[in-house]
Amino acid sequence: MRRVAKHPHQTVARKPPKVSPAKLRELRAQAKIVREQVARDRNQIAAEARKAVTDAVANGRLTKLTLLLRPDEQPILDALDHFASEHGLKSRNQVLRAALAHLLNIELDQPHWGWPAGKPRA
C-alpha cells in the first residue's frame, strides 16, 4: 500500500513578473480603447433595442401598457404595481393575466417565477 502525505505539496507564492512602465502605459492605452468601444457599442445596442420595440409595438406584436393607457390613467398602472407587490407577481403582465383569469372565471397558468415557493395558487 502506498503512503500518501497528509498535506500535499504546497505551492510557493510567486511574485508577479515586473512590468515595465512602457508596457504598463501600452496596456492602459489598450484598456482605454476597449472601454470606449464598449461604450459606443452599448449606445448602438440600446438604440437597436428601442427601434425593435417601437417596430413591434407599431406592428401589433408587442403591447406596452403605458401606450394603451392615457397619461391621466396613471392610477391604473399604480394599482397594477401595488397588486403585483402585494401578491408577489413580477410584472404587470402577470397582474393582467391573474385579473383576466378571475374576471372571466378561467384557469390561466401563471409563470413559475411569479409565485413564491409554498404559496397556494388562487
Domain of residue 85 covers 67-122
The confidence score (pLDDT) of residue 11 equals 61
Once rounded to an integer, what is the mean pLDDT over residues 11-34? 86
Total tally of structural domains belonging to the chain: 2
Helix 74-87 / helix 92-104 crossing angle, nearest 10 deg: 90
Is there a single domain that holds both residue 77 and residue 117? yes
How far is residue 30 from each of residues 11, 22, 23, 44, 110, measured CA to CA in Å? Answer: 33, 12, 11, 21, 48
- The percent of residues in the chain predicted with pLDDT above 70, rounded, is 72
- pTM over the 0.75 mark: no
Q: Please check whether residue 122 lies inside any domain of the structure.
A: yes
Q: Please check whether residue 51 lies inside any domain of the structure.
A: yes
Is there a single domain that holds both residue 44 and residue 71? no
Is there a single domain that holds both residue 77 and residue 98? yes
| Cα(88)–Cα(11) distance, integer angstroms | 50
pLDDT digits (tens, 9 = 90+) for 30-67: 999 999 988 888 888 888 878 887 887 777 666 667 66
Is there a single domain that holds both residue 102 and residue 71? yes
Is there a single domain that holds both residue 48 and residue 77? no
